[in-house]
Structure 1
Amino acid sequence: MIRLLARWLGTSALLLFVVSALTFVLTALAPGDAARVILGKNGTDEQYQALRAQLGLDDPLPLRYWHWLSGALHGDLGVSIYSQQSVTDMISGRLAPTLALVVGGLLFSAVLGIALGIASARSRGALSRATDVLSLLGVSIPTFWLGFILVIAFAVALPVFPATGYVDFASSPSEWARSLVLPVVTLGVGGVALIAKQTRDAMSKQLSLEYVNAMRAQGLSERSIVYRHVLKNAAVPIATVLGLLFTGLFSGTVIVENVFALPGLGGLVVQATVSHDIPVVEGVALVFALVVVLTNLVVDLSYGLLNPRTRMS
């Protein structure tokens, strides 16, 4: 366990540094800058140069990154170049919709995908082939296209759910849930197919082993064999896919939040990128990177709980 945590801390620190440095450099090298966005087309060259100096955009790139990094190490992500708001406050204000969307998408994918995978492994035949087809469709359908189809079907033709917007949970739990249904389904459909196929494959492998026949010979019920033994032994690869899916869903929020006009981190980073607001882009990238390293730790720790033989001293 100590070795696992030490390795996690080392790789996490390196990953966060690399992600922050690459994000800063790539955003800074993109055409245009924040000063030009703020002044617009009518700004003079003198005003442009003065604003660049005021915002610190004239400083060398390594120096600008060092200033940001030293502040981030002390918990200060800086202020937005465009709005002069605290980046930490901007992220915290947008974090709830993104987390609700991602967690909802993960639960939707996990519950439906595992159920479909178990049924496919037990029945084989047509349902197993259907799982393969579903997996192919799930990873092939563009997210934005699926979102538009769901809006047309369930917000326009059948006005069951709102097409856009987000309602805070504290204001109305029921409206909060309704505002998330279409975005969660849009985000989670691809994950359903992925988890269903992984669950089917892992359980099919376990069902073909001798210990399953031995338990059947001892008179254990099929339900007990499948859910208490086979599913537990197949849980490690499923947990791995769930971890990968959770981190992948954060990147998917960039598209889904813009399709459904949700005020989350995905929409924030798109706006910041367009306006070349480097501190905001850096802050959101750092949050996403932290999600990745924390998820990897949780997945690694879950291996020891699911399969004691994988525990590390």
Structure 2
Amino acid sequence: MLRETVRWLGSSVVLLFVVTGLTFVLVSLAPGDAAKSILSGQSTGYTQEQYEQTRRLLGLDQPLPVQYWHWLENLVHGSLGTDLFNGQPVTEALSGRIVPSLSIILGTVLVSGVLGVWLGITGARRAGWTGRLVDVVSLAGLAMPNFWLALVLVELLAVRIVAFPASGYVSPQTSPAAWLACITLPIVTLSAGAVAVVAKQTRDSMADVLSGEFVTMLRARGLSTVSIVYKHALRNAAVPVVTVLGLLLVNLLSGTVLIESVFAVPGLGQQAVAAGSGHNLPMIEGIAFCFTIVVVAANLLVDLSYRLLNPKARTP
């Protein structure tokens, strides 16, 4: 157990270095920089001397490895740097944006897991047209573009019926009901394709488990169908489903970027778009760091779920 924990910590640290280092390289390869973005906002133009001076003030004239080393030094001291445009600490700027993004991501995983598993179990238990219906729903959910579905939901449920707000965000501390209303449409949008994937994986896995010999023996012992399905078969079929949910959580980090822009949710995705357009390297690095932490946490949860569902995974 100790060896595996050390291995997990080592791989997490390596992943952090790879992601943040690669982010530095990719931002440096993009045309333009933060100095040009800042000076371009001035009404009067700028000279080459002003441009070079701004680069020195921002530390952009230093070699890329030196900039990355300074960022790592700040990270060790609990800082993610300073916003190049307004001088605000990155940790302070991102602290208010983590909750909106995590609300949408975790809400989507929860809805997709519950509905997807239920549809998958229903399709596995009732072969025939029910199983084919699950496949049709899966294909339909995967085929619908998120941005198109978001616009349709806004038109139907925010403009015509006015059941949910079309944009904006309210924190759960201010009003739990308003917070739930604000994240409903983004979660429904992202869950359409996610439910389809989870349902398809659950149905295939459950169908394979239900055809096993131990299920036949349980039926011969007189156990009820509900007990067989939810107490015995689902546990054996849950490992690939947990894998899909873990991958879904990671994929939602990029999926929320577009959805947050459509619904004007002030989350990490919307901040990433703004930071990328302005070449705001400390902000981009801070967001990449937060996303990496989420990926590490998702991998840890998936690994712990494997150990709970499969006792063989606990043995060295």
Q: What is the 5 A alignment of 1:257-296? A: 257-296=260-299
Once residues 135 and 22 of structure 1 are traced to their aligned partners in structure 2, the CA distance between those partners, rounded to angstroms, is 35
2:217 maps to 1:217: no
Distance in 2, matches of 1:11 and 1:170, equals 36
Q: Tell me the residue number matched to 1:100.
A: 103
Distance in 1, matches of 2:173 and 2:9, equals: 36
Q: Deviations over 1:81-102 (max 9, x none)?
A: 1111101111111111011111
Match of 1:255 in 2: 258
Structure 2 stretches of 5 or more lacking a match? Answer: none
Q: CA RMSD in A?
A: 1.1
Structure 1 CA distance, aligned partners of 2:130 and 2:6? 44
* Whole-angstrom CA distance in 2 between matches of 1:7 and 1:91: 30
Match of 1:236, as an amino acid? V
**Counterpart check, 1:15 vs 2:18:** no
Query: In the alignment, what sits opposite 2:184?
Result: 181
Conserved 8 A contact 1:4-1:312: no
CA distance in 2: counterparts of 1:9 and 1:189, whole angstroms: 34
1:150 aligns with 153
Matched, 1:300 2:303: yes
Superposition pairs for residues 1-313 of structure 1, below 5 Å? 1-40=1-40, 42-313=45-316
**In the aligned structure 1, how far is the partner of 2:76 from the partner of 2:129?**
55
Q: Which moved more, 1:257-266 or 1:64-73?
A: 64-73
Structure 1 residue 172: Cα displacement: 1.2
Q: Which moves more between the two structures, 139-148 or 14-23? A: 139-148
Structure 1 letter corresponding to 2:36: R
User: Whole-Å Cα distance in 1 between the matches of residues 152 and 131 of structure 2?
Assistant: 27
Distance 1:309 1:48 in 2: 62
Give the CA deviation at 1:135: 2.1
Distance 1:237 1:218 in 2: 28
The separation in 2 between residues aligned to 1:139 and 1:73, in whole angstroms, is 42
Amino acid corresponding to residue 180 of structure 1 in structure 2: I
Letter of the 1:150 partner, please give it.
L
SS in 2 for 1:234: helix
The offset of 1:6, in angstroms, is 1.5
Moved over 3 A (4+): none
Percent identity over paired residues: 53
State the Cα distance separating 1:133 from its structure 2 match. 2.2
TM-score of the two chains, using structure 2 as the length reference: 0.96
Q: Give the deviation of 1:266 after TM superposition.
A: 0.4
Shift of residue 3, structure 1, vs aligned partner: 2.2
CA contact (8 A) 1:35 1:52 kept: yes
CA distance in 2: counterparts of 1:104 and 1:45, whole angstroms = 49
* Stretch deviating more after TM superposition (189-198 or 32-41): 32-41
* Equivalent AA in structure 1 for residue 65 of structure 2: P
CA distance in 1, matches of 2:100, 2:283: 17
| TM-score, scaled to structure 1 | 0.97
Shift of 1:168: 1.3
Q: CA deviation at 1:73?
A: 2.6
